[in-house]
Amino acid sequence: MVAIKIEYVGNLHCQATHAPSGSQLTTDAPADNMGKGEAFSPTDLVATALGTCILTVMGTKAQSMDIDLSGSTVVVEKEMASGPRRIGRLATSIVIPHQVSERDRKVLEAAAFTCPVHKSMSPDVEMPIAFEWAK
């Protein structure tokens, strides 16, 4: 178990503290929903969690295969839906700047889909993942 303590500090801002490390982050409501967009919104954190989870899971698999994925990047584009307001789509693009064999690519791509955040999302959220590998 990991505890995250969250305090509402006013003006639609929250301060979250990761109990094991003491790391902190601040959220704000998005500009299109009464906030000022001064920090990640809660739904931005979901997109962030998805992208970092995918790269982390791919990284652990790559490490076990003695493959270096350093410098790899992910962009997650979040689209909101309405009725009710919710995340409708999280389109993920991953760029791997290293040459990897076709066999290893398939293993690493399969690992991406095992990310616990990806597995925890509602089936109502579209979550395509695109991979771009160095040639």
- DSSP letters for 6-72: EEEEETTEEEEEETTT--EEEEE--GGGTS---SB-HHHHHHHHHHHHHHHHHHHHHHHTT---TT-
According to the model, what pLDDT value does residue 135 have? 81
Beta strands at 86-96 and 4-10: parallel, antiparallel or unpaired: unpaired
CA distance 118 to 7: 27
Q: What angle do CA 75, 110, 130 make, to 5 degrees?
A: 30
Mean pLDDT by 10 residues, the chain (135 residues): 97 97 96 92 97 98 97 98 95 97 97 97 96 93
Residue 18 identity: H
